[in-house]
């Protein structure tokens, strides 16, 4: 498995529509120190990440009676709470990757209105517009897959094979499917636009995001049908 690192902020991140948004602020490089050297120093990849990546805000996002929290750094969304996990478990999961410094800081004010407006539009089936910036951790292959997913236009779909090809590994279909399942912020990363070879959305009951993926996909179908609608 590739080394876990931040999504490159030098590259423009394709968004849900035709607009692109570049992430700001260059993230300090970790390539100068190898994993072996870090182990000799008593450190690790995970320890290095949890020290350098700082979560500034936990933004509550409502889904019916449920509240899901989005963890955001100064650069963008790091992770989204799964519908199947409590806030306590979500915070523990985030703390494995980052250091939490949440409080009455500018971070919460910066992200609250932006994330809640985007999330609300998603749930209503409306076009949410440009996606908020993302600050994601993953292997190089996972980051390629997530970028490809973010580049799928609203109302369109891509297969796992097409995602694998876009990442430069056309035979890694199962790995592309796994990366799609592991996307840290579904909705903001439009995983509901990824389908199987038969064109159907794969949403097994065991997947805690299945209901929301089906809801989001359903919300985009009318826009797709209108393009060839009858009079």
Going by C-alpha positions, the residue among 53, 211, 190 that lies closest to residue 119 is 190
pLDDT per residue as tens digits for the range 56-97: 888 999 988 889 999 998 889 999 999 999 999 999 999 988
Distance CA 22, CA 13 (A): 6
Distance CA 209, CA 84 (A): 8
Q: What is the pLDDT of residue 104?
A: 54
Residues contacting 192, CB < 8 A, separation 6+: 186, 201, 212, 213, 214, 216, 217, 220
Read off the tokens for 86: 């409590």
pLDDT tier at 105, thresholds 50, 70, 90 = low
pLDDT tier at 220, thresholds 50, 70, 90 = confident
% pLDDT > 90, the chain:
45
Q: DSSP characters for the chain?
A: -PPPEEPPSSSEEE-SSS-EEEPPSPPPP-TTS-HHHHHHTT--HHHHHHHH-EE-EEEEEEETTEEEEEEE-SSSEEEE--TTS-HHHHHHHHHTT-EE--SSSHHHHHHHHHHHHHHHHHHHTS---SPPPB--EE-HHHHHHHHHHHTSPTT--EEHHHHHHHTT-TT-HHHHHHHHHT-SSBTTB-GGGEE-TTS-----TT-TTHHHHHHHHHHHHHHHHHTT---
Q: What is the pLDDT of residue 60?
A: 92
pLDDT per residue as tens digits for the range 147-162: 999 999 998 999 999 9
pLDDT tier at 203, thresholds 50, 70, 90 = confident
Average pLDDT, the chain: 76
Angle (CA) 109 113 118, round 5°:
140
Q: Is the entire prediction scored with pTM above 0.95?
A: no
The mean-pLDDT minimum among 24-33, 124-133, 169-178 falls in 24-33
CATH topology assigned to domain 140-226: Arc Repressor Mutant, subunit A (1.10.10)
Q: What is the pLDDT of residue 39?
A: 38
Domains of the chain by residue range: 5-124, 140-226
Spacing of C-alpha 185 from chain mean position: 3
pLDDT tier at 100, thresholds 50, 70, 90 = confident
Q: What is the pLDDT of residue 77?
A: 92
Q: What is the pLDDT of residue 136?
A: 86
């Amino acid at each position: 498995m590739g080394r876990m690192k931040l999504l490159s902020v030098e590259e423009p991140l394709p968004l849900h529509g035709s607009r692109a948004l570049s992430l700001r602020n260059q993230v300090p490089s970790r390539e100068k120190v190898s994993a072996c050297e870090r182990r000799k120093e008593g450190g690790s990849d995970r320890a290095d990440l949890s020290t350098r990546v700082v979560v500034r805000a936990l933004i509550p996002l409502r889904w019916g009676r449920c509240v899901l929290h989005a963890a955001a750094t100064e650069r963008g969304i790091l992770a989204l709470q799964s519908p199947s996990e409590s806030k306590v478990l979500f915070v523990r999961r985030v703390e494995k990757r980052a250091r939490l410094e949440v409080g009455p800081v500018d971070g919460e004010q910066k992200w609250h209105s932006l994330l809640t407006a985007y999330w609300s539009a998603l749930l209503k089936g409306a076009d949410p517009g440009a996606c908020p910036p993302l600050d994601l951790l993953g292997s190089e292959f996972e980051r390629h897959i997530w970028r490809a997913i973010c580049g799928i236009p609203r109302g369109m779909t891509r297969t796992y094979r097409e995602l694998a090809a876009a990442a430069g590994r056309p035979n890694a279909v199962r790995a592309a499917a796994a990366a799609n399942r592991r996307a840290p912020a579904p909705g903001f990363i439009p995983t509901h636009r990824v389908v199987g070879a038969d064109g159907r959305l794969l949403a097994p009951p065991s997947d805690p995001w299945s209901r929301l993926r089906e809801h989001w996909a359903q919300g985009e179908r009318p826009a797709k049908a209108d393009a060839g609608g009858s009079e």
